[in-house]
Amino acid sequence: MREFEFYLPTRVLFGRGVVENIGKETAKLGKSALVVTGQSSARKTELLERVKDSLKESGVKPVLFEGVEANPCLETIKRGTKIAKEKGCEVIIGLGGGSPMDAAKAIAILSTNPAPLINYFGRNKVKEVPLPVIAVPTTAGTGSEVTLYAVLTNTEKVPPLKETFADPSIFPRVALVDPELTLSLPASVTADTGIDAFSHALESYLSNRSQPLSDALASEAITLLLKYLPKVMRNLKDINARSYILYASLLAGMAIAQSGTILVHGMSYRLTTDLGLSHGKACAILLPVVSEFNLSQGHPKLTSLSKCLEENTEGSTTKELVEKVITRIKNLITELGLPQNLKTRKIKKELIAEFAQEVMQNKAKLANNPRSVTLKDVIEMYEKALWGYEKGE
C-alpha cells in the first residue's frame, strides 16, 4: 500500500436538528457572527430566524449578509467583508448551498488578509489565518462544509472566469450537517446538487491524487448516491433517503478535499459562466463523455468501480466494463431528469475551441485527470457533450 496524507480539521456534527447547536458552537469562537446566506430560501423556510434566535440565546450578535448569488462574484465578497469589518464580526457562518458557504470562506480570508481577493486564487496563497468559518449546508451536493476550496467568479477577467481558492486555512472549523434542512428543496435543486455530489465522488475515485482513505469515502458515496438519489426523486420528503444523500455528499466532499476533482469539473466552469447552465447540469452533461474518455483504454480501478456501481463484472472485457459503467451513469442522470448532453448546435465551434484552450491552462485539473489529454481531445469531448454523441444529431 502506498503512502498517503489525510488532513481534515473540520468538526462535523451530523443529524436531524443539529442546526440548533449553531449558537453554542459559534459562542466558542467569537461574540459576533456574520451570517452569509443565499437569495431567499433561508428566510422563506424560517431557518434564518432559527439561526438568529439560537445565536442570540448564546450571547452571539448576529449580523446578516443576505442575497449571495449563485457563483458569487468579487463585488459580493467585498461587500460582505466590509460589513464583517465594520461590525467587528469574529466568526463567519455560511448558511445555504455551495455559493453562500464559499462566499463565507472568501469573506473570512479577506477579513484578515489584505485586498485584493484575486491574490489568493490558486493553492496555498493565504498568509494570515482567516476568521473561523462555520458551515451549514442546506443542499446535498457541494461538500463545501468539509473542503479547503471556495469557487468564485473572477469578474475582473473578460469573460468572467470561475476560479478556486485551495487553502487548508479555510476548512470550516465546524460543519452542522442537518438533513432536515434539505427537506424543502425542490426536485430540480435536489437533482442538480445530487449529481454534483456523485460527480465529486466519481472524480475523486479516478483522480491521480486519490488515495486509500479518499477511495473509501468516494466509493461509499457512489454506492449511497446510486441507491438513495432515485428514492429521493420519487419522494422528496423521504427524510431517511435525504439523510443518506446528505451524508454521501459529505463523504464526497471529504474525498475531494484530499484528491481534487478531474476534468468533469475542469471543463464545467465555462458552461456555467458562458452558457448559464447550473453547476449540476454542466457536470451531468460532461460526466458520461469525460468518464468514457478516461476509462476507454482501461483504468486500474475499472473493475472496482464497476462493482461499486453494482455491475456484474465476471468475465467482462474492458470494453464491456466501460460500457456498463457509462450506461449506469447515464441511467442515473436520466432518473434524475437531467440532460446527458445538450444536443444543441447553436454553440459555435469557435466558442468550444475557446473553452478547450482555457481548460488546457488548468494545470491542476490536467494533472489530476487519469488520462493525459490534448487540446483536440478536449474539443471532441465538448462537442459530444454539447452537440450530442452522433455528429449531426
Rank residues 355 and 387 by Cβ distance to Fe ion and give the closer one.
355
Q: How far apart are CB 276 and Fe ion at their closest, in Å? A: 17
Q: How far apart are CB 145 and Fe ion at their closest, in Å? A: 13
- Measured CA to CA, the distance from residue 265 to residue 246 in angstroms comes to 20
Phi, psi of 353 (to 5 degrees): -60, -40
Q: How far apart are CB 1 and Fe ion at their closest, in Å? A: 29
Of 188-196, 222-230, 330-338, 346-354, which part binds Fe ion (CB under 5 A)? 188-196
Q: How far apart are CB 59 and Fe ion at their closest, in Å? A: 36
Residue 30 vs residues 25, 53, 84, 132: alpha-carbon distances, Å: 9, 16, 13, 9
Which residue in this structure is represented by grid cell 452542522? 176
Q: How far apart are CB 200 and Fe ion at their closest, in Å? A: 6
Rank residues 167 and 196 by Cβ distance to Fe ion and give the closer one.
196
For residue 64, what are the contacts with CB-CB under 8 A and spacing of at least 6? 34, 35, 37, 48, 52
Summarize the chain as % helix, strand, coil (round to 5).
55, 10, 35
Q: How far apart are CB 98 and Fe ion at their closest, in Å? A: 7
CB-nearest residue to Fe ion: 196
> Three-state secondary structure along 182-244?
HCCCCHHHHHHHHHHHHHHHHHHHHCCCCCHHHHHHHHHHHHHHHHHHHHHHHCCCCHHHHHH
Rank residues 214 and 306 by Cβ distance to Fe ion and give the closer one.
214
Residue 18 vs residues 50, 264, 308: alpha-carbon distances, Å: 12, 33, 31
- Measured CA to CA, the distance from residue 308 to residue 224 in angstroms comes to 10
By DSSP bridging, strand 61-65 and strand 133-137 are unpaired
Rank residues 178 and 196 by Cβ distance to Fe ion and give the closer one.
196
Helix H or strand E segment including 63 = strand 61-65
Of 49-57, 61-69, 192-200, 230-238, which part binds Fe ion (CB under 5 A)? 192-200
Of 74-82, 159-167, 196-204, 356-364, which part binds Fe ion (CB under 5 A)? 196-204
Rank residues 90 and 192 by Cβ distance to Fe ion and give the closer one.
192
Rank residues 73 and 83 by Cβ distance to Fe ion and give the closer one.
73
Q: How far apart are CB 156 and Fe ion at their closest, in Å? A: 23
| Size of the residue set binding Fe ion (CB under 5 A) | 1
Q: How far apart are CB 220 and Fe ion at their closest, in Å? A: 18
Draw the binding track, 319-358, toward Fe ion (x: CB under 5 A; -: no contact).
Answer: ----------------------------------------
3-state secondary structure of 54: helix
For residue 337, what are the contacts with CB-CB under 8 A and spacing of at least 6? 187, 188, 191, 233
Determine whether 202 is exposed, middle or buried from the number of CB atoms within 10 Å of its CB (0-12, 13-18, 19+): buried
Q: Among positive and negative, which fits the CA dihedral 72, 75, 76, 80?
A: positive
Rank residues 196 and 292 by Cβ distance to Fe ion and give the closer one.
196
The reply on whether position 145 binds Fe ion by CB under 5 A is no
Can you tell me which of 196, 203, 215, 292 binds Fe ion, judged by CB under 5 A? 196
Rank residues 25 and 196 by Cβ distance to Fe ion and give the closer one.
196
Rank residues 81 and 204 by Cβ distance to Fe ion and give the closer one.
204
Q: How far apart are CB 104 and Fe ion at their closest, in Å? A: 17
Q: Given the rule CB under 5 A, which residues bind Fe ion?
A: 196
